[in-house]
Amino acid sequence: MALNGAKRLAGSLFGKAEMPDLGLGDTGKVLPLRPMMERLLSLDREAWGLYAWSREPLEGKFDREQKLQYQRKAEACGREEAALAAAEVVLEVPDSLAKSVAASMKLHVTTPDTPVGGGQVTFAQYVEPDEVTIFMDAVEKAEALAASEGLADILGNVKIFDILLAHEIFHAVEFKKEDAIYTKTERVELWRKPFSNKSRLVCLGEMAGMAFAEELLKLPFSPYVLDVLLMYGYHGAAATALFEEIMEIAGENGGKVEEETC
């Protein structure tokens, strides 16, 4: 159920993501959050790269080693851009490097509670050329969960708002450097000549965006772990399905976390 159900979630949950009908209804298996987070934090960089690739429409055209090579280049791009962004800060916001970078880039950051329209679970989004939106309902739900589950000892004093903002900032960097940045210039040949057609790989920008946030904020974990935490605030069964999918992709046994009972 996990792979077929959770995989309907649109991409990484850091961007626009509609809550699909997972076939779970109002019930379904719900695993306790903390053990899931502990398992996610134990995954290595390669596992998260494969998770990112699972959202790529062209995934089937590449073998494992090719995927990992692309991942390494995308993450290097993200880290390099994070270092440049930090060095170029001219408008400092106390206690928030992410907000400082956004201000220096003259990005318009808005913080409504929820998106307009129904059926969506949207955490953050970037709209060209300079608009970033962080939906505070998602942030507040995740922060409340982190507090109630006592996750500070494994996540540190993480600012979920700043992680979401940093990820979206990278997409603004991509727009600004569209003609030169790796995640936009790298193309894959879909058909042989004379019917040549080159396409971009969407997952490169997502992997680079996560690496950007990780480097900028000096996180001790991949921001991808927050996908499950953020979803858990809205739908425990959907978050559990997503967790089990990640474990399956990583080659782990997700069944080691025991189901919650009432």
Judge contact between 132 and 102, C-beta under 8 A: yes
- 50, 31, 49, 28: which is closest to 39 by C-alpha? 31
Question: 55: how many CB neighbours lie within 10 A of its CB?
Answer: 15
Structure tokens belonging to residue 213: 């946030």
Judge contact between 122 and 115, C-beta under 8 A: yes
The alpha carbon torsion through 112, 174, 87, 71 (nearest 10 deg) reads 110
Residue 191 bridge partners (DSSP): 197
- Distance, CA of 256 to chain centre: 24
Q: State the sign of the Cα–Cα–Cα–Cα dihedral 22, 34, 53, 158.
A: positive
pTM value? 0.87
The alpha carbon torsion through 150, 153, 158, 163 (nearest 10 deg) reads -90
Hunting for tokens 């727009």 — which residue is that?
175
Ramachandran angles phi, psi of 225, nearest 5°: -60, -25
Question: 239: how many CB neighbours lie within 10 A of its CB?
Answer: 25
Hunting for tokens 């904020």 — which residue is that?
217
* Three-class secondary structure of residue 120 per DSSP: strand
pLDDT at 101: 98
pLDDT at 58: 93
The alpha carbon torsion through 257, 230, 234, 131 (nearest 10 deg) reads -160
Lowest mean pLDDT: which of 20-29, 71-80, 103-112, 129-138? 20-29
pLDDT at 158: 82
**Interval 70-119: pLDDT, tens:** 999 999 999 999 999 999 999 999 999 999 999 999 999 999 998 866 55
Residue 7 to residue 19: CA distance in whole angstroms: 11
